[in-house]
Structure 1
Amino acid sequence: MRIKTLGLLAASLLALIAAPAQAADGNPLEKTNGFYTDPNSNPAVWVKNHPGGTADQIRAAIATKAGARWFGNWSGDIKSAVDGYTYAADVVDKLPILVAYNIPGRDCGGHSGGGAGSPDAYRSWISNFAAGIGGKPAVVVIEPDALAQLDCLPTGERQTRLDLLRFAAEQFASKAPNTWAYMDGGNSTWIPAATMADRLNAAGVKSIRGLAINVSNYKTTTDSANYGKAVSAALSSKYGYTKPFVIDTSRNGNGPLGSEWCNPAGRKLGVTSQTGGGAEMLLWVKVPGDSDGKCGIAPNVEAGTFSPDLALRLINGS
């Protein structure tokens, strides 16, 4: 019996040695092989419907590159929409990038105004968003501009927004264990790093992976990384913890045009989605070619609508 037991133990040890290493729970990078390219992104759909010529350039430079899909009140049943998208990525062993963009009072009523109709509606929506991901690997950016635009809200509504963002963070932490969620932290010239650290802490960033910098903006990767480090340092000095960050590089190849953020001329595509590069990840969060609103070099193109002219300008830096 002892010999048999030792033999079984030896066989078990050999099996463990021969077995492939398993990814650590919770790390979506270790559970996937590269980032997911959305086959139904606005640029991809436009290319399919307009073959040849301009479409070939947009296909090669934008439509075939990995980037984020944005979800909001246009997404229908949010649990089903998120589940379907993350499942499609999981089937091909790729890591999807998602953006949750439905906070009440979104964009302070600006070009991308809208959002859930009430705090309760948002709680239901974001809870179902996280449940739609479930155990599948994912990267999520939580509510671009929501913290940076806190001051635009009436004083009595600011705490409600912080509470909603904290609730969102808790949902991803509890319902999506293989998701790295990043709370949006504005950009390098918008809100002072120490102030943003206070807002992030109040919004529950401690319970998720980290923060996102430069979403839908044009600031350089270097400036964005320095800002991310400053925010993390402020979190450390004030609250005793640090957080990694990701940077949106989709349109920062030429850096900003002064303080202009709404379809400025002369901007260019940045480096494609990748790990490292001065941050935990550099990601195409904004979809290149999607308008910032009726402004700048696209005065007649609604926010979120794809423009081949904007796309070509980003490709050429014009």
Structure 2
Amino acid sequence: MPRVVFLVGAVVVVVALIAAIAVVGNLVSSLFQTLAARPPAVDTRIVAPDESKAAKAAGDASATPEESAAATWLAAQPTTYWLTPEIDPVDEVWDRVAHLASEARDQDAALSVAVYGLPDRDCGNHSAGGLDPDAYRDWTSRIGDALRNAPDVQKIVILEPDSIALSSSCGSQGDRASYLRTAVENIRGTNTWIYLDGGHSAWHPVDEMASLISATGLIGDVRGVALNVSNYQDTAAEFAYAHALSERLGGTHAVIDTSRNGAGPAGSEWCNPAGRLVGPAGGSFGDGVVDTTLWIKPPGESDGECNGGPPAGTWWPAAAVELTRESR
């Protein structure tokens, strides 16, 4: 009997040692991943998603040769993927993010997503929609779970474009700040760099925009702000705006959307202005405040039903052809 007790005790000790080694191994792995995490910088390359609207348009047999060429060229460009509840609902969004993370590994790239499902999104304008508060909590929780499931991948999250810049005109600053806090809490994790909406240089004066951002109470919980998302402002103007915001917000960082600013702005027109061009590739520029430039708004997708465009977010072949006329 004592020998049996000894053997059982020995097995228990061995099992405990194995468990302890596993725990230590997990801690070491987690620590290594945390130490290896680096924020986006110049030369950051993000995923070119294989299920983007450009990629789907490239396979459209009814497209003209010029439309097909534009879509094929755009499909190959590293571009942020927009997570919306309309396309990636709560029961599908985890799989979408996991697929994008797998692509990032295959392409040796970072993953960049725009989270765009805020309650009362766009205040009833061209991109109206979004989720109710409870559904938004669940949806962003699924997104965060999927992002944390890929600790080895650098993740860039553009959180709710236009949400803060529109908050004063929508009359919903407090509610929006609460939703954004929920999203940040749900999404943040190892090697995940979150950027809040920061508008752009031709929208709010810098002091006003800084006040709107500061009022969310989130500036210490995120990497920084995303500027020029879905807009056309010159890169130099956005760099100056980023530096001015950083001075007022305690040194926060920024990313700048250059996907469609190759010809600069068209005055105050923001909805499908004519004559625009794609801008410099993501990862082209950065400094001590601007982490990097990125393609955030996918070129070829409409801003809304204006200037001949289809509904917001719909693939528009004519726009794709025009935007890429000097690049492909």
String of CA shifts for 1:298-318, please: whole Å, max 9, x gaps.
2xx11101111001111227x
Counterpart pick for 2:194 among 153, 169, 181: 181
After TM superposition, give the deviation of residue 56 of structure 1 in Å: 5.1
Distance in 2 (CA, whole Å) between partners of 1:122 and 1:60 is 34
Give the counterpart letter for 2:135 in structure 1.
Answer: A
Q: Does 1:194 align with 2:207?
A: yes
Farther-moved stretch of structure 1 (79-88 vs 46-55)? 46-55
Q: Does 1:293 align with 2:307?
A: no
Partner of residue 26, structure 2: none
Contact 1:264 1:297 in 2 (8 A): no
Give the counterpart letter for 1:68 in structure 2.
Answer: T
Secondary structure of 1:316's counterpart equals: coil
Q: Does 1:82 align with 2:94?
A: no
| Change in CA separation of 1:52 and 1:292 when aligned onto 2, cut-off 3 Å | closer
Counterpart pick for 1:26 among 13, 17, 37: 37
Distance in 1 (CA, whole Å) between partners of 2:182 and 2:208 is 21
Give runs of aligned pairs for residues 64-213 of structure 1, distance below 5 A.
Answer: 64-74=76-86, 75-76=88-89, 77=91, 78-117=93-132, 119-134=133-148, 135=151, 136-154=153-171, 157-173=172-188, 176-203=189-216, 204-213=218-227
Unaligned runs of 5+ in 2: 1-31
Give runs of aligned pairs for residues 186-265 of structure 1, distance below 5 A.
Answer: 186-203=199-216, 204-235=218-249, 241-265=250-274
Partner of residue 48, structure 2: 37
Contact 1:172 1:208 in 2 (8 A): no
| Change in CA separation of 1:275 and 1:178 when aligned onto 2, cut-off 3 Å | farther
Partner of residue 270, structure 1: 279
Distance in 2 (CA, whole Å) between partners of 1:264 and 1:312 is 14
Contact 1:265 1:297 in 2 (8 A): no
Give the counterpart letter for 1:144 in structure 2.
Answer: P
String of CA shifts for 1:76-127, please: whole Å, max 9, x gaps.
222232222223322432112100000101011111000012x222122212
Give the counterpart letter for 2:163 in structure 1.
Answer: A
Give the counterpart letter for 1:100 in structure 2.
Answer: V
Distance in 2 (CA, whole Å) between partners of 1:146 and 1:213 is 12
Unaligned runs of 5+ in 1: 1-20, 236-240
Q: Cα RMSD over matched residues?
A: 2.3
Greater Rg over alpha carbons, structure: 2
Counterpart pick for 2:292 among 262, 281, 287: 281
Distance in 1 (CA, whole Å) between partners of 2:215 and 2:187 is 16
Counterpart pick for 2:312 among 303, 309, 312: 303
Count, aligned residues: 284
Give the counterpart letter for 2:55 in structure 1.
Answer: A
String of CA shifts for 1:117-143, please: whole Å, max 9, x gaps.
2x2221222122111111232111000
After TM superposition, give the deviation of residue 232 of structure 1 in Å: 0.8
| Change in CA separation of 1:271 and 1:311 when aligned onto 2, cut-off 3 Å | same
Distance in 1 (CA, whole Å) between partners of 2:316 and 2:44 is 31
Give the counterpart letter for 1:141 in structure 2.
Answer: I
Contact 1:182 1:210 in 2 (8 A): yes
| Change in CA separation of 1:89 and 1:196 when aligned onto 2, cut-off 3 Å | same
Contact 1:73 1:116 in 2 (8 A): yes
Distance in 1 (CA, whole Å) between partners of 2:264 and 2:53 is 24
After TM superposition, give the deviation of residue 177 of structure 1 in Å: 1.2
Percent of aligned pairs with the same amino acid? 35
Distance in 2 (CA, whole Å) between partners of 1:214 and 1:139 is 16
After TM superposition, give the deviation of residue 23 of structure 1 in Å: 8.5
Distance in 1 (CA, whole Å) between partners of 2:173 and 2:203 is 18
| Change in CA separation of 1:255 and 1:109 when aligned onto 2, cut-off 3 Å | same
After TM superposition, give the deviation of residue 151 of structure 1 in Å: 1.7
